[in-house]
Amino acid sequence: MRRMGVKFCGGCNPQIERTRFVDELKKKLPEDLCLTHSDNTEKWELGIMVCGCPVACADRPATRNLSFEWIFVNGPAIDLELFSENELATIVALKIQKYFEGRNPYEVA
């Protein structure tokens, strides 16, 4: 099983429905990929930082250390590129698939 995690911001100024986004994303992931919210396990191979607005208050050094690589969702943007809210889960699922494509599941990033 791949180690992937999700980290949420505090939700003080959400421009997107963060929980709905993650629920939709989970439905689009293959069975061998699952998201965890726990940050007391081994370092994740890939992390999804879900911030409700462009401020991205959850983007801190301690948070960055939870994962080798990150995909950032900041309001309606993914890695600083704007999308409609309805596209977010699909775009992130494709980015995840591309990240893990051809990688050995037993090797750490």
Q: What distance in Å separates the CA atoms of residue 109 and residue 101, rounded to the nearest whole number?
A: 12
Segment (H or E) for 45:
strand 44-51
pLDDT per residue as tens digits for the range 14-41: 999 999 999 999 999 988 888 888 766 6
Domain locations along the chain: 2-100
pTM above 0.75, yes or no: yes
pLDDT per residue as tens digits for the range 76-106: 999 999 999 999 999 999 999 999 987 766 6
Instruction: Name the residue type at position 95.
Output: K
